[in-house]
Homo-oligomer: A and B are copies of this chain.
Amino acid sequence: MRICVAQTRIKAAALEDNFKEIASAVQSATAEQADLIVFPEMALPGYFIGDAWERPSFLNACEELTHRVASLSSRTAIVFGSVGIDRAARNEDGRIRKYNAAFVAHDGRLLQNEALNLPFWPKTLLPNYREFDDSRHFYDLRKLAIEFGVALSSLVKPLSLKLSHEQSVRIGLGICEDAWADDYSVHPYEILSKDEHKPDLMINISCSPFTLGKQDKRRTLFSRLVSKSGCPVVYVNAVGSQNVGKTIFSFDGDSGIYSHTGFSPVGDSFLARTKTFDVPLQKASKQKAPTRIMLASAADRAAEICRALESGLNFLKEEWSLNRVVIGVSGGIDSALSAVLHTRVFGAENVFCVNMPSSYNSPLTIAAAKRLSAELGCCYTSVGIEESVRLTLSQLDAARTSGFPIPESLPSLVAENIQARDRGARLLAGIASALGAVFPCNANKSEMTIGYSTLYGDHAGYLAPLADLWKGDVYALARHYNKNVFGREVIPEETLSVVPSAELSSEQDVTQGKGDPLCYPYHDALFRLWVEEWNRFDFQSTLDAWDQGTLAHFIGPEAHSHLQQLFKTRADFCRDLKKWWSAYTTMGAFKRVQSPPVLALTRRAFGFDHREAIGIKG
């Protein structure tokens, strides 16, 4: 059977754009005499469109275009994802009933799903964790089984596709999560495999966002499905960028054909690719031992992050029609990496570097910022903040004179934050606006966790591209760029070796080795337990782990060796733990509400993937 795998770029809610992609791929597939072309989940409407699912006229447009896609299937059958609408029934919010559905079109018409008397096959398992909100918008086959008073298995059936050559193919069709069923009591592909007419082919259409390490899991999962079901599996995932407001996801594709001979990928990850395969449909015994397939090469974490970051940023640049970027370069590691990343994606001619010194900035970091800009070939300038900060402080004095109870001697934090806001909201925002540019927030995940940044200061920006990277990852990525991408010292050695510091007071003087109040090798590991661990640690369980001597196991030996140097006593450890736990759950959570969108990389990015209330100390 000749099958075209269409790893298309899907844009959220851009129906006409998505239709054009589909139409063009169908045309190519027909030219190649493919029997079948398979598109991703939600290929027509896009997937992460938030509550726009509640717009009836959008749904009407989806329905109309679904029929237009069907009309393209006169020679090549089409499997594609879209929203399935049942106007005769209601969702549980009282709105039109909708399904996350797979459509099958052949001979110019949509095939009918006899079990439901509807022209589509709904997703059985609706993910409702991390960033996923499927059950908010879509109805559920299990609810339907209860409504109908029937067994679920009677609603999950393979379909028969009659090809032109008198040949009929039985297809087990599922959508994304249907294959990731380990934690569910229901296993759609097992139900499909058990059907008396065993399927000849399994298809999984997905719109599955990139997460670090997911490709390996995915390949293991679908090669296991080949072994279990005894038939080849067509896996089609989207590429592109879709966001859920605060959190921006990239889609990596990684589509292809899984069979007993291994995995045949459609081509590069993150790029729109269409490829036609001749897939033999011989059924094999289910008992056959799993075939070893080639997994992705052993993870070079930095290289994988690098690819994901640049792809994600590139998608976003296009989606949001961005042209120019202004970067506040401090000479520190975060702004250096941000400058590198933006230069790679936007081009040096569109990246403008600004150093904004006060008296607290060392000649060392200032020189490093300037050198970085020169190495990258970006336009560079220096704009001071001393005068403006002085003015603000004098206006505070005036307010005191007029009766505001402002203390004569202000805490250092007040002046520190004035400097940070002066750089972000006054200068960078002003320069970006004058240039028709945007400016990024360069906060990393360690800082984002505890709110170690100033609102409207270094917390501000159009995007926080590094906010899903721990400080240790930032260093690793910077070294990776120098060594493997540029092959020279683009990010200056001073930037890599200087103590990380905000340089906002004499207490943060890098020339005296003073800087951030964090020991990143330890605190990164600690914060990861709170944020990324599947069963999350909190204050109490972290303390319990210390008491039980199991903390080293969870944070790893390197972090643990730092811990041992940092804290002499349980009381020392506990004081630090309490301070940062409180920062994470109160001020950190409060600041995250106002943070820029975060480019997601890990399996727990801040924002919609990490839903939180402000002040949940627990």
Which A residues lie at the B interface, using CB under 8 A?
12-14, 48-52, 54-58, 61, 90-96, 125, 128-129, 133, 135-136, 142-143, 145-147, 152, 182-186, 242-246, 319-320, 352, 354, 379, 381-383, 387-388, 391-392, 395-396, 398-399, 402-407, 410, 413-414, 417-418, 421-422, 424-427, 429-431, 433-435, 455-457, 460, 534-538, 540-541, 544, 589, 592-597, 608, 610-618
Contact = CB atoms under 8 A, between A and B. Distances in A.
B431 A406 contact: yes
26 contacts: A51-B536, A51-B610, A52-B616, A57-B537, A61-B540, A61-B618, A92-B183, A95-B534, A128-B136, A133-B611, A245-B612, A379-B403, A381-B402, A381-B403, A388-B388, A388-B391, A388-B426, A396-B431, A407-B434, A410-B434, A414-B430, A418-B433, A424-B425, A425-B460, A426-B426, A593-B597
Given A143-B185, A534-B95, A611 B245 contact: yes
Given A143-B142, A391-B391, A399-B381, A612 B51 contact: yes
A93 B413 CA distance: 42
A57 B147 CA distance: 37
B613 A245 contact: yes
A424 B534 CA distance: 39
A534 B185 CA distance: 34
Contacts of A608: 611
A616 B96 CA distance: 20
Contacts of A95: 534-535
B425 A421 contact: yes
9 closest residue pairs by CB, A with B: A425-B425, A425-B456, A57-B541, A50-B612, A93-B129, A94-B183, A381-B402, A147-B185, A50-B611
A56 B535 contact: yes
B613 A50 contact: yes
A544 B56 CA distance: 12
Given A593-B597, A613-B48, A54 B392 contact: no
A243 B417 contact: no
B92 A184 contact: yes
Contacts of A147: 185
A596 B594 contact: yes
Contacts of A405: 435
Most chain B CB within a 10 A radius of its CB, from A90, A135, A147, A613: A613
B56 A618 contact: no
Given A51-B536, A354-B399, 8 more contacts: A13-B616, A48-B613, A51-B612, A92-B184, A383-B398, A404-B435, A406-B431, A414-B430
Contacts of A544: 57
Contacts of A381: 398-399, 402-404
Nearest to A407: B434
A186 to B, nearest CB: 7
Contacts of A538: 52, 55, 57-58
Contacts of A541: 55-57
Contacts of A616: 12-13, 49-50, 52
Contacts of A594: 460, 594-596
A55 B618 contact: yes
A396 B434 contact: yes
Contacts of A145: 146
Contacts of A51: 536, 610-612
Contacts of A617: 13-14
Given A430-B418, A541-B55, A49 B613 contact: yes
A422 B431 contact: no
Contacts of A383: 395, 398-399
Contacts of A90: 183
A421 B410 contact: no
B146 A186 contact: yes
Nearest to A90: B183
A455 B185 CA distance: 47
B128 A92 contact: yes
Contacts of A96: 535
Nearest to A457: B425
Contacts of A152: 146
Nearest to A617: B13
A388 B426 CA distance: 9
Nearest to A585: B52
Nearest to A11: B615
Contacts of A610: 51
B429 A185 contact: no
A242 B612 CA distance: 11
Contacts of A395: 383, 427, 430
Contact of A146 (B146, B392, B413, B613): B146
Contact of A404 (B319, B379, B460, B614): B379
A593 B427 contact: no
Contacts of A417: 429-430, 433
A165 B100 CA distance: 55
